[in-house]
Amino acid sequence: MRVLLVEDDDMIGAAVRQGLTQDGYVVDWARDASEAELALGAQPYEVVLLDLGLPDRSGLEVLADLRRTASDAAVVILTARDAVADRIAGLDTGADDYLVKPFDLDELSARIRAVQRRRKGRAEPLLVHGQLTLNPASHECLWQGAAVSLSAKEFSLLQALMERPGAVLSRAQLEERLYGWGGEVESNAVEVHIYNLRKKLGAETIRTLRGVGYLLGNPS
Ligand code: CA
């Protein structure tokens, strides 16, 4: 899952980026409002973590602009303890949730999963397709009742497909999901991960539409 982190504090930003990357998220880090707006204009994000006290503009203005576009990104505001009025304004401007600094990284991860579920209209934390089950919280994958060990990138790729069953995702869409800014994208990375997923989960689990992209096979 691709996350935009908007935070000017180096220590908080570095800690959040490291923690979420370890959890398998792809994190792009914008240090001010103008970097954030460039990033938001350049590509879709599923989640935006937004500090409100930014050096150039208020995070609230970034949020208001984002909600004026058709973006369906989930937004979690990161604020200081004494900024109650800002948190209320943030929720009223279209934020999905907020966290008060200093916060626990595990709680941040859990909030991200929760806002993602709500955005996708799912209250159920598991993704299920036939005999395949993914748990985004624990990073567990069950196939035909047995646990299967997946790499972080294999898990992200499979999660992208399982979140939109029936949809065809292009290689470019999957690459976007797997790599952040400046990440080296090897030309055949997606194909390699798909190959490995098919070895682990059966050839029929992921279908290729030649020249178009990939989608889940029929549930079995
Ligand atoms: Ca700040």
Q: Consecutive sets of 10 residues in the chain, 220 residues long: mean pLDDT of each?
A: 95 95 92 96 91 94 87 89 85 92 93 86 78 88 92 92 90 84 74 95 93 88
Q: Are 57 and 45 in contact (CB under 8 A)?
A: no
Q: How far is the CA of 43 from the centre of ligand 1 (A)?
A: 23
Tell me what pLDDT residue 220 has. 67
* CA of residue 154 to ligand 1 center, whole Å: 34
Query: DSSP state, 127?
Result: E
Cβ 2 vs Cβ 25: under 8 Å: yes
What is the reported pLDDT for 125? 76
In this structure, which residues have their CB less than 5 angstroms from ion ligand 1? 8, 51, 53
Span from the CA of 25 to the centroid of ligand 1 (angstroms): 22
Residue 53: exposed, middle, or buried by beta-carbon count in 10 A (0-12, 13-18, 19+)? middle
Q: For residue 10, report the distance from its CA to the centre of ligand 1, in Å.
A: 9
Q: List residues bridging with 142 in a β-sheet.
A: 133, 147
Integer Cα distance of 43 and 26 in angstroms: 13
In angstroms, what is the span from residue 70 Cα to ligand 1's centroid? 26
Which residue in 144, 111, 117 sits closest to 129, CA to CA? Answer: 144
Both tokens of 67, joined, read 């909600």
Measured CA distances, 145 to 40, 68, 76, 134, 148 (Å): 40, 45, 35, 12, 9
How remote is the CA of residue 55 from the centroid of ligand 1, in Å? 7
Cα of 204 vs centre of ligand 1, distance in Å, is 48
Q: What angle do CA 108, 19, 197 make, to 5 degrees?
A: 100
pLDDT computed for residue 123 by the predictor: 60
The alpha carbon dihedral of 40, 57, 77, 100 has a sign of positive
